[in-house]
Amino acid sequence: MTTYAFLGALEQGCAYGLMVLGVYLTFRVLDFPDLTVDGSLPMGAAVSAVAITNGVDPFVALFIAMGGGFIAGAVTGFLNTKLKILHLLASILTMIALYSINIRIMGRPNMTLLGQDTVLTPLLNLGLTPSVAAPVLFSGFCILVVILLIWFLHTEFGLAMLATGDNRQMITSQGVNTDFMIIFGVGLSNALVALSGALIAQNQGAADVNMGVGTIVAGLASVIIGETLVGCRTITRALIAAFIGSILYRLAIAFALSAKLGAFRVTPSDLNLITAILVVAALTAPKLKQRWAR
């Protein structure tokens, strides 16, 4: 792997790291498999791209994108809790609806940000090259969000959210409205995913309605890789693991892309297959390990 590919993977790992933290919130904390992310990632990209081309400050555009993502996630939560639609199906419905909505937001299926100021502009003005500026800025975002989430999940409110995912009956009988917890939690998760999408769009200079395909699988793979290699004994550790998992996942992908077997090369279009296999392997490995141990 070249240094260039390594830095690229680091940059991607950090930019998608926020998405992975969002997936961790729904998948692990709330025990809510949420496919909304495939739609809220491009939504964040679309919202921030439209905001920037309309003269909004790139940093403010990030917050607007987060607001959009929060609403998308809250809709999924609402469909599930109030309208009693199965969580998986509720999130798929929001996801396909977002496809149309994202095209409406942009007015077309994709949009470039060439020549526009982005969140990276201040760093580039300091003389940093893009391949250094992006990982630095994005990892800063991730570390900040990890710290905020560690704090949040140790508060009274955060504990109630953890309990909602673990034992809904118990926390309901302690007087917590679990419907609200799920709507808020899935909203928060998708706000992070949209933030990730906004950063990715500003970094690559374009938003595309199809950029979200496979987000959930990449997110799950990252969460599981992090848990396996870093561990998840405490919430603090699990959150750090999710972030590191995101970087390791992108490094693994970069490594696979650079590998050659005779005349055979992995192409970017093979990535979804590789990721799916990776997730299946990671999900079944603990069970296989148990069987061999016997």
> Residue numbers of the site for other proteins (CB under 8 A)?
152, 154-160, 162-163, 166-167, 169-178
Nearer to other proteins, 97 or 160 (CB): 160
Residue 61 CA to residue 57 CA, distance in Å, equals 6
DSSP category for residue 232: -
Q: Could you identify the residue written with the tokens 């790291």?
A: 17
> Rounded CA gap, 272 and 43, in Å?
21
Cα separations in angstroms, 89 against 70, 95, 273: 18, 10, 23
Q: Which is nearer to other proteins, 172 or 204 (CB)?
A: 172
Antiparallel, parallel or unpaired: β 206-208 and 260-261: unpaired
The CB-of-178 to other proteins minimum distance in angstroms stands at 7
Minimal distance, residue 168 CB to other proteins, in Å: 10
CB of 192 to other proteins, least distance (A): 18
- How far apart are CB 84 and other proteins at their closest, in Å? 14
The span from the CA of 193 to the CA of 199, in Å, is 10
Say how far residue 196 (Cα) sits from the centre of its chain: 6
Closer to other proteins at the Cβ: 89 or 170? 170
